[in-house]
Structures are given as C-alpha cells and as structure tokens.
Amino acid sequence: MNKIAISFISTIMLTFSTAMAQTSTVIGKIAKHQTTDTLLVYIEGHEKCQNGYDTIHIDKKGRFTMSYDIKEMTEALVFIKSGNNNEPSAAFCVLLQPNKTLNADIKMKPFRIKYTGDEAEKSTYANMYYKAFSNSNDFTPDSMAARFATFTDTKKFVDSELAKMETVVKTIADKEFAKQAQAAIDDQRDAALVGYGISREKLGKTMLNDNDFMSFIDNIDRNDTLQAMKIYNYLEWYYAAHPALYTPMQADGAKIKYLAEYTQNQDVRNKVANIYIFNLIFLANWGLDTSSEEYKDLYEQYLKVSTDTTYLLFVKENLKSMEAKIQGQDAIDFKIADADGKELQFTNILGNGKVTYIDFWATWCGPCKREIPFLAKLAEEYEGKNIRVVSISIDADKKAWVKKINEDKPKWEQYIIPDLENCPGLSGYSINSIPRFMLFDSKGKLFKSTAPRPSDPETKVLIDNLIK
C-alpha cells in the first residue's frame, strides 16, 4: 500500500489554514462489500496514523463513518482491505475539510465512488487525480512508450483522459482551488508527455526524429520562471537522449551543469536547481540517505549554478557528512551510555584490533526488531573472534529500552544515545531512518557507513574479509 502517493499529491495542491482544529466527517456506504472488509486510512502526520494506519470499521450493511480533527484541508488515502489479504481490493482519495461533512457511495467490482455533500467536487477531483497518477499504470511513461509509437498518439490519449478531470475542475466553486487544480493537471500533462519521450529513449527509439515531440520541446521558454517545471522535465529527457553527457559525472549533477548552458536566466536556474534539491529533501523524510556519495556531483554543481540560499545549508551539510562517510575516515565521536547509565565515547568501542559491526535501532521500530534474531545469530557465530557486535538505541524512552533488553537478554553489547538532539553522530552519518548498520575496521576507521543488514548474506562476506 503506497503511502508516498498521497504525499506526492500534497506537494502540488493548495491548503488553507484555520485558527484551530475542527472536525471533518466522511459518511459512507459500500455496496456488495465483504463481511471481512475494513478501511485503513492514512493521513500524513495525523495523530491517529502515527503507527501506520487508522482502522475504520464497516458494519453489516456496509456503512462507515470517518471523523478527524484537522486544522486545514487535508488529504486522506483510504484502502479497502479484506481479511488477511496483503493487498487492498480498492483504494481511494478523499479531501478532508474542517467543519465539513462528505458522503461517499461506493460500489465494488468494478470499483466506483460518488461524493456528495460539502464541496464534494474537490474530493471528486482529488480522487480522479490520485487514480490517474498514483493508482494506475495508464499514465506511466513505460506503459505509454509501449502502447504508442508516436508522440502525436500519446498526446491524444493524455489530452483525452485529462479532459475528464478538467470537466470536474470547472465545477469547483472555490476559484483559487480550481486554479491550483488546473495547474496540477497541466504539470502532470507535461510530465507525462516528456516521460513518454524519456521511456522511448530508453527503448532505443530516439525522439530527436519525432518532429511533433521536438516541436513540443522547442515550445518551452527556457528563460521563463513560470515554466521551471517544464524545463526540469526537459532536462530529464535531454539526459536520457544524451546519457554520456559530461561523463563520468553522475546524472543529476550533469543535468544541473547543462541547465547553466540551457538558460541564461539566473532565476530560472535557481528554480530548476531547487527542484532537484527539494526532491531529495522530500525523499529524506522517507528515510533516503541524502549524504550518499552518489549525490556529490549534484551538490557540487548546485553550488556552482545556483545563487539561491534556500537550500544552501542542506547542501553544505550533506557534503560535509559525505566527507565523514568516506571509507578510511576517522569516526565521528559522540556519547553513548550502558543500561546502568555509565557514559563513554563512541570511539571507545572501536578499533583495538577488532572489527565493529554497529546496529542503530529502537524498541518502537518493527523492521529493527525483525533483524534481532539475525543479529543474535551473527553475534553467536563470531563469538571469540576479532569482531564486536554492538547495538545502539535511539530510544527517547530509556525505560522502554531497558525493559526490552532485560526481557531479551541479548549476548552482544547494548548502548543508548543519552542526548539525541545534540548527537553529532546521528547528523554526521545522516541516520534519518532505522535500522541502520555500519562497519568499522580493526583500527577504528570507517569501512561502510551504510552496511548490509545481518539478514543479508553479504554482511558475513564483508566481515570475513575484514577479520582475515
């Protein structure tokens, strides 16, 4: 079940703040539903969804009610799930609005939903948008590249499908919302058409000989700040058509370097370069390590091409962190503590002739706990050899951590970070998500800042090579 899809919609739609939280209610009925059906609701950042999804009961007659306190217009992604099936039987998007009530009539096989009630046309639009761009393969570049041999045929299909959505937008009374909705459609149209060109390039079908596509591309005003997204899409295609551009520079770095040649307008350069950085920040919120070596060219070219300071600190911090994570670097030092509260330095557990395999985890982290049996097996297998297996908790609740290790009684070293907010190791090593594993050599030098998990066979291969 894809949570990211709904967040993607959020990045391009307008929200309206209110002074205080108010209740938004959705009253629905599902025709011909299964008795085992439930609703799983995902609302990014909402307190009811902190542990994943809010579960909504469906009664015997297929009726359900969803109520959420919200401060602004908020998107909810709803999955209809039957019994123990891993994949939902259907999914839909609804816009929650403070102090508004919406009705949702749903039919299964084939799935259909009709919204009525307060400003229902907004949810109708949002659901169509979600279905088209996040819950269907129809608009994916690869599927269109396989279906259509020419750009003209692709454009006819895209325009025809989006016209249905535009019809709904015209019914929206809120003119500012309608304006934002139409802008979102226009952006997706351009992205779909350029994406088609990119996928055709990957199939070895150059678009340089498609006159209609090249006319579409040439229509972009490279010096218009209002066309920043179009220019971004153009760069994506241009690199696909010229994959050796500035070899051996990494792709996104090459695109930003070419951006400086493509446009002479510094405001355009800044806007487009910022899109690349914003994309990374968005993915960082989902656990991406943005200080990975693969982004070095992007950051360096950004600093050369952009004069905007919006993301300057983010870029410089990632470059600094990148340097700290180069193999052979000295370890970043920080305080850790054992279960008795005795503090020591991180570097105290490194080196001295022993390889160190570090596990950053927390008691509330499900994926972390799934690795514990593999970690235990690893520690047992290497017992008495020149390696230390160490788990370091990032729990804010020390009591929960102590309780967990007292229950499990792990036979490898256990520590906790006593000051999470001011820990240079977490920021320096870009530990934005867990579990996270690291390897240090017998001299205490960094070997891998992002090591494979203990469940990965590659882990033993790396360790065996280090302890030879």
Residues 6+ apart with CB under 8 A from 127: 92, 93, 94, 113, 115
132: in domain: no
Residue type, 466: L
Q: Are residues 272 and 373 in the same domain?
A: no
198: in domain: no
> Last residue of some domain: 305, 324, 343?
324
Q: Are residues 344 and 313 in the same domain?
A: no
383: in domain: yes
Determine contact, residues 294/253, Cβ cutoff 8 Å. Answer: no
Q: Are residues 312 and 375 in the same domain?
A: no
Tokens of 13: 């739609």
Residue where the block lists tokens 């190791």: 425
One pLDDT digit (tens) per residue for the chain, 468 residues? 444 344 334 444 444 444 588 999 999 999 988 888 899 999 988 888 877 789 999 999 999 999 999 999 999 999 998 877 778 889 999 999 999 999 999 998 889 999 999 999 999 999 999 999 888 888 899 999 999 999 999 999 999 999 999 999 999 999 999 999 999 999 999 999 999 999 999 999 999 999 999 999 999 999 999 999 999 999 999 999 999 999 999 999 999 999 999 999 999 999 999 999 999 988 877 767 788 888 999 999 999 999 999 999 999 988 988 887 778 889 999 999 999 999 999 999 999 999 999 999 999 988 899 999 999 999 999 998 999 999 999 999 999 999 999 999 999 999 999 988 889 888 888 887 889 999 999 999 999 888 999 999 999 999 999 987
141: in domain: no
Terminus-to-terminus CA distance in the chain, angstroms?
A: 44
Residue where the block lists tokens 């596990």: 359
Question: CA 32, CA 107: separation in Å to the nearest integer?
Answer: 7
What would the pLDDT profile of 70-102 be if each residue is shown by its tens digit? 999 999 999 998 877 778 889 999 999 999 999
Question: CA 299, CA 292: separation in Å to the nearest integer?
Answer: 11
Q: Are residues 312 and 433 in the same domain?
A: no
227: in domain: no
The dihedrals phi and psi of 5, each to the nearest 5 degrees, come to: -55, -45
Question: CA 87, CA 100: separation in Å to the nearest integer?
Answer: 31
Question: CA 26, CA 368: separation in Å to the nearest integer?
Answer: 36
Residues 6+ apart with CB under 8 A from 393: 361, 362, 363, 401, 414, 415, 416, 417
Q: Are residues 273 and 379 in the same domain?
A: no
What would the pLDDT profile of 149-189 be if each residue is shown by its tens digit? 999 999 999 999 999 999 999 999 999 999 999 999 999 99
395: in domain: yes
What would the pLDDT profile of 264-285 be if each residue is shown by its tens digit? 999 999 999 999 999 998 887 7
Determine contact, residues 193/141, Cβ cutoff 8 Å. Answer: no
**For a pLDDT cut of 90, what percent of the chain falls above it?**
74
Of 274, 281, 280, which is closest to residue 303 (Cα–Cα)?
274
Q: Are residues 370 and 423 in the same domain?
A: yes
What would the pLDDT profile of 6-44 be if each residue is shown by its tens digit? 433 444 444 444 458 899 999 999 998 888 889 999 998
Supply the CATH number for residue 429's domain: 3.40.30.10
Q: Are residues 350 and 453 in the same domain?
A: yes
Question: CA 89, CA 305: separation in Å to the nearest integer?
Answer: 47
What is the number of domains present in the chain? 3
Task: Name the helix (H) or strand (E) containing 104.
Answer: strand 101-107
Q: Are residues 316 and 339 in the same domain?
A: no
Q: Are residues 342 and 445 in the same domain?
A: yes
Determine contact, residues 190/235, Cβ cutoff 8 Å. Answer: no
What's the count of helices (H) and strands (E) in the chain, helices before strands? 15, 15
Question: CA 335, CA 346: separation in Å to the nearest integer?
Answer: 6
Domain that holds residue 292: 248-324
Q: How many CA within 13 A on the CB side of residue 62?
A: 13
133: in domain: no
| Burial (Cβ within 10 Å: 0-12, 13-18, ≥19) of residue 433 | middle
Of 375, 367, 374, 415, which is closest to residue 395 (Cα–Cα)?
415
Q: Are residues 258 and 300 in the same domain?
A: yes
193: in domain: no
> Last residue of some domain: 119, 146, 177?
119
Question: CA 352, CA 345: separation in Å to the nearest integer?
Answer: 14
Question: CA 236, CA 438: separation in Å to the nearest integer?
Answer: 34
Question: CA 438, CA 451: separation in Å to the nearest integer?
Answer: 5
Q: Are residues 344 and 444 in the same domain?
A: yes
Bridge partners of 104?
28, 115
Please state, in angstroms and as integers, the Cα–Cα distance from residue 427 to each residue in 2, 322, 326, 336, 421, following that order.
28, 11, 15, 15, 9
Determine contact, residues 56/38, Cβ cutoff 8 Å. Answer: yes
Determine contact, residues 291/325, Cβ cutoff 8 Å. Answer: yes
How do 343-345 and 90-96 pair as beta strands?
unpaired
Task: Name the helix (H) or strand (E) containing 335.
Answer: strand 335-337
Supply the CATH number for residue 42's domain: 2.60.40.10
> Last residue of some domain: 99, 119, 139?
119
Question: CA 186, CA 397: separation in Å to the nearest integer?
Answer: 47
Q: Are residues 8 and 65 in the same domain?
A: yes
